[in-house]
């Protein structure tokens, strides 16, 4: 196992590695005695405890609906550890009738489209008539820097919530004639993304969203992970954003995986306990 064979670390310049893993239980593929199921559960819980006890690492467990049964979301700054958890988990579950149906590897990242200090200073001058260097101007710039510092910290080092409902989907930006996101000038992309973000902010306190980057790491360019207390809110925000130009003209979307946050023993025993 990687974590037992090396003490070397592979850490990014900034942010965390993120891994989504989704499994389906194939009933009848294993004898699945009560003893073997309990052994599986004990081993998986030990692995999860290791992940949750590792510096800046997290693990969420999911009871999925429809195309998968059991899901995991891992965050870690150490790719060797993340790799170890994936392979160990796959080996454990594979021996007991669980098949991986989807995975997604990405990283937390900054947004390319946030307002810069220079832009905010220009807005204070042109829109509010404040004089650079004045006490009010400096106080507002200080408040802006603090907001941006917090925003960047949350983007790069998020804390997974314990909210009940979960949804995930991968996405790309189009490169089609007449709808090529990457052919647009940066200023136009930034204006579009800031409008897109305003929709998301209207759901603050109702939906928590993490957008992680996977360009060069996986088949899709981004992964979108959503948490809420009420599935209605996830349905509402996704539906509203579909009409925004960023999605309507330039978005391509992969399969959706939805479900509930749940203890891993609840999911495994429900499906495999009597196999």
From the candidates 169, 203, 210, 250, which is the catalytic residue? 169
H or E element: which one contains 240? helix 231-242
**For position 275, what pLDDT does the model report?**
47
pTM (predicted TM-score): 0.90
- Its sign, for the CA torsion 87, 92, 95, 99, is negative
The tens place of each residue's pLDDT in the chain, 275 residues long, gives 444 545 689 999 999 999 999 999 987 655 557 778 899 999 999 999 999 999 999 999 999 999 999 999 999 999 999 999 999 999 999 999 999 999 999 999 999 888 888 989 999 999 999 999 999 999 999 999 999 999 999 999 999 999 999 999 999 999 999 999 999 999 999 999 999 999 999 999 999 999 999 999 999 999 999 999 999 999 999 999 999 999 999 999 999 999 999 999 999 999 887 54
Residue partners of 188: CB distance under 8 A and separation at least 6? none
User: Is 182 annotated in the active site?
Assistant: no
**For position 274, what pLDDT does the model report?**
55
CA distance 189 to 178: 15
Is 227 within 8 Å of 161 (Cβ atoms)? yes
**For position 114, what pLDDT does the model report?**
87
The token duo for 149 is: 């510092």
Q: SS3 of 231, please?
A: helix
Is 78 within 8 Å of 54 (Cβ atoms)? yes
**For position 197, what pLDDT does the model report?**
92
**For position 2, what pLDDT does the model report?**
42
Q: SS3 of 250, please?
A: helix
């Amino acid at each position: 196992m990687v974590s037992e064979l090396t003490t070397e670390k592979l850490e990014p310049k900034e942010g965390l590695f993120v891994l989504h893993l989704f499994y389906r239980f194939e009933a009848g593929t294993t004898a699945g005695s009560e003893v073997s199921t309990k052994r599986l559960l004990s081993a998986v819980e030990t692995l999860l405890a290791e992940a949750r006890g590792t510096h800046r690492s997290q693990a969420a467990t999911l009871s999925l609906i429809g195309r998968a049964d059991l899901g995991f979301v891992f965050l870690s700054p150490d790719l060797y550890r993340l790799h170890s958890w994936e392979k160990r988990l796959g080996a454990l579950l594979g021996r007991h009738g669980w098949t991986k149906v989807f995975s997604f590897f990405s990283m937390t990242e900054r947004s390319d489209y946030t307002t810069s200090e220079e832009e905010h200073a220009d807005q204070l001058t042109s829109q509010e008539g404040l004089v650079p260097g004045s006490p009010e101007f400096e106080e507002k710039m200080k408040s802006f820097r603090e907001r941006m510092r917090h925003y960047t910290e949350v983007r790069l080092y998020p804390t997974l919530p314990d909210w009940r409902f979960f949804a995930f989907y991968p996405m790309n930006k189009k490169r089609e004639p007449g709808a090529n996101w990457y052919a647009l000038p940066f200023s136009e992309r930034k204006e579009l993304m800031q409008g897109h973000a305003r929709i998301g902010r209207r759901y603050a306190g109702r939906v928590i969203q993490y957008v992680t980057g996977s360009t060069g790491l996986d088949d899709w360019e981004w992964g979108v992970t959503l948490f809420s207390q009420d599935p209605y809110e996830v349905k509402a925000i996704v539906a509203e954003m579909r009409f925004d130009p960023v999605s309507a003209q330039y978005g391509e979307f992969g399969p959706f995986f939805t479900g509930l946050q749940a203890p891993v023993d609840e999911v495994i025993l429900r499906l495999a306990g009597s196999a």
